[in-house]
Structure 1
């Protein structure tokens, strides 16, 4: 079944780029027509259709450059203007009973391309059939070359085929990309979900093996759990709980920057993938993340703390090993009183990073949730 998708304007993000490209194309077309016009003048002739096409291209370029007219108006202006120029030229040939010159078939191809670019498929097909009928009728009346007419028809069929299936492929690809994105995105926080992050960790582990697990090839996972989150839901309600999750997600993402990725691992757990296993860097980032959540006071929301378990790729022989180590250390941190970072085995891990001086004192005095 043929799609009925109407012509869609570009998004706001795409509009500046599309305007620049459209203006550039119009100016290039105007340049080509100017060359044709100058060549005609040297031969002592001038076709009004070339002059009209040059004026149309320059007019559309100026319209796009100096105004913000709707795209639908721009596209239809180009299609209708070009159609009027070609039909006027063909009618003049009919009046003079002259055969269609070779150079007049290219505008026909351009019109077919423009029709399938601007119109939905069904109207574009109707437009193309009408255009071919006009060329065919004029060819019969004026005795024009039927081979050129056949080539024009073949070109129109090819354009229609590519346009129809191209739209199908583009729509299917867009749907597939969106489904892929949604399958790996947590709806509440907008972060990667467990599946998306697990794939990232697998890729990181493969790279670490390729680089022998040394140098910059290693990675670290930090498994962070919001302390007493059930108490937040029970005391303040699930809406507030969702707001807390979104706040923690935003804090982690902002604090991490381009040093790694963060995902909602499940429930109130977040998993951070850090692109290094260098101990000083890991310790610094773990302390910064823990502290950032601890001090992220938001009016109307309860203060929260996190327990964090840390494991590096050097400590496991598989992704599962690394994740199990991080999970075990997270529970060690909870067992040691929560609100801390566990960087190594219980009893052997360095003390949790000290809280930097400054705004932390306000949070330290707040009620722990």
Structure 2
């Protein structure tokens, strides 16, 4: 869910960025038609921006659009830089050259947003080398003759800015990746601490946290404790490995039959817990009865028929988690006392 949210946010930023770029490009094309580069290539770039906006709006694959935008924008502004370096008066063109350098700087930022640090560095250095080669090819011979010194100094400043940004962005990207890795490790440790290693279900700690949060609204809250019948005999007769397989299969069947919004976990040993909400006892008991049938109906590998007993307790306003669990435990004991493989509701 978190990844989907981040992807949607990135898509929204890209969409509005492209949409806002379209009128700017159109205005430049309208007011400066005399320049060949703008006159012939800006309409093509405008059409590409419209295409990207359309595809972003219709949920096209984000990664392919990102790569297209980067590649096309890099090619477009490299051509623009070459055009203003070699076509016309260099002094008059320098404003456009300087603005193109700033676009290249923003493009480097986009590279590190889209790609990892290593690829961002490679592509940024490639941009830097291309712009450096264009500038040196245009100004190298003339500066030796004492011409275009101011432009050459401005060119050196722009190249140094790009090179410095490459190093700075790479450093920030490395730090970002390290922080992201540390955050993932923390999340993994948090999840492992709250997951039963055998069944993959939430463990007692996770269930306790859910109960603590759910206790803020006791009305309509139900706690179900279930215990596998004669589980000790399964372990004694078939061995603990088979017993573990039974536990995993019980967990799998329960999980596949849960209603949306219910939470299942392993409370300990052969005991499971389900935290449920319901508008009526009838609906909740019917759902729990289906869970009981899902366990008892199909035989288990190696051991045959397995059943479970269920104790259900309903929360009331002013109730405590301790009292709720105690009533569920008593209801479970009653289900076992009455013959097992049944569902019992605790009295209020």
Q: Which residue of 2 aligns with 1:357?
A: none
Of residues 105-114 and 296-305 in structure 1, the stretch that sits farther from structure 2 once superposed is: 296-305
Distance 1:39 1:249, change over 3 A: same
Q: Which residue of 1 aligns with 2:34?
A: 45
Higher helix residue share: 2
1:36 and 2:25 correspond? yes
SS at match of 1:114: helix
Q: Which residue of 2 aligns with 1:269?
A: 271
1:341 and 2:339 correspond? no
Q: Which residue of 2 aligns with 1:185?
A: 195
Pairing partner for 1:91 from 73, 82, 85 = 82
Give the 5 Å matches for 1:1-369: 21=11, 25=14, 29=18, 32-33=21-22, 36-37=25-26, 39-46=28-35, 47=37, 50=42, 53-54=45-46, 78-95=69-86, 96=88, 97=90, 98-101=93-96, 103-125=99-121, 127-128=123-124, 131=127, 134=131, 141-142=151-152, 144=154, 163-208=173-218, 217-258=219-260, 260-276=262-278, 278-297=280-299, 302-314=304-316, 318-344=320-346
Of residues 316-325 and 143-152 in structure 1, the stretch that sits farther from structure 2 once superposed is: 143-152
Cα deviation for residue 306 of structure 1 reads: 1.0
SS at match of 2:225: strand
Distance 1:154 1:332, change over 3 A: same
SS at match of 2:224: strand
For residues 335 and 315 of structure 1, the distance between their equivalents in structure 2, rounded to whole angstroms, comes to 29
SS at match of 2:260: helix
Cα deviation for residue 224 of structure 1 reads: 0.4
For residues 27 and 206 of structure 1, the distance between their equivalents in structure 2, rounded to whole angstroms, comes to 41
Distance 1:53 1:163, change over 3 A: farther
Q: Which residue of 2 aligns with 1:365?
A: none
1:140-196 Cα shifts (integer Å, max 9, x gaps): 535649998898789778755664444344333333333322322233333221111
Distance 1:297 1:76, change over 3 A: same
Aligned residue pairs total 320
For residues 315 and 331 of structure 1, the distance between their equivalents in structure 2, rounded to whole angstroms, comes to 24
Cα deviation for residue 28 of structure 1 reads: 6.6
Cα deviation for residue 59 of structure 1 reads: 7.9
Unmatched tracts of structure 1, length 5 or more? 1-12, 209-216, 350-369
Distance 1:313 1:186, change over 3 A: same
Cα deviation for residue 202 of structure 1 reads: 1.0
- The CA RMSD over aligned residues, in Å, is 4.6
Distance 1:281 1:37, change over 3 A: closer
For residues 62 and 260 of structure 1, the distance between their equivalents in structure 2, rounded to whole angstroms, comes to 40
Unmatched tracts of structure 2, length 5 or more? 140-148
Distance 1:171 1:341, change over 3 A: same
SS at match of 2:208: helix
Give yes or no for contact 2:121–2:166 (8 Å, CA) kept in 1. Answer: no
Distance 1:204 1:61, change over 3 A: closer
1:281-330 Cα shifts (integer Å, max 9, x gaps): 45444434333322244676622111222333349953233223322442
Q: Tell me the TM-score normalized by structure 2.
A: 0.69
Cα deviation for residue 265 of structure 1 reads: 1.2
Q: Which residue of 1 aligns with 2:142?
A: none
Distance 1:315 1:147, change over 3 A: same
Q: Tell me the TM-score normalized by structure 1.
A: 0.66
Distance 1:140 1:167, change over 3 A: farther
